[in-house]
Amino acid sequence: MIDDVQGTTAPPVAGRREGERLEALEHELELGRAIRRRLDGEIRRLGARVGAVEADAAHVRNVLAERERYIGAIERSLVWRVAQALRRLVGRAW
């Protein structure tokens, strides 16, 4: 390895240490990239799962709202109100 400033050759020991350090840094960089790829895949997988759960939750909310409307229609019906009035006469109310 030639030193640009003085034009002399660097000692082989220093070059070997620098090469080993460079290899270690390249190895760390590759490990970091592999971890990043794995985490990016995990983020995509979890994003898809969150989307599916949100869709299920929206469906459940819609079903609940439909059932609440149905119960409300029953409770507003004349037959239901008459039945409740009769139950109150005998001391039992829902």
Q: What is the pLDDT of residues 21-80, one digit of tens each?
A: 999 999 999 999 999 999 999 999 999 999 999 999 999 999 999 999 999 999 999 999
pLDDT of 86 strictly over 70: yes
17 pLDDT tier (thresholds 50, 70, 90): confident
Distance from chain centroid for Cα 14: 48
94 inside domain:
no
DSSP alpha helices (H): ranges in the chain?
Answer: 12-76, 78-89
24 inside domain:
yes
Predicted pLDDT at 76? 94
Q: Please indicate whether residue 18 or residue 94 has the higher confidence score (pLDDT).
A: 18
Q: Please indicate whether residue 22 or residue 6 has the higher confidence score (pLDDT).
A: 22
Residues 83 and 94: their CA atoms lie apart, in Å, by 10
Domain span including residue 42: 12-89
Name the domain count of the chain: 1
Residues 82 and 59: their CA atoms lie apart, in Å, by 34
Residue written as tokens 């969150």? Answer: 50
The angle formed by the CA atoms of residues 69, 85 and 74, to the nearest 5 degrees, is 15
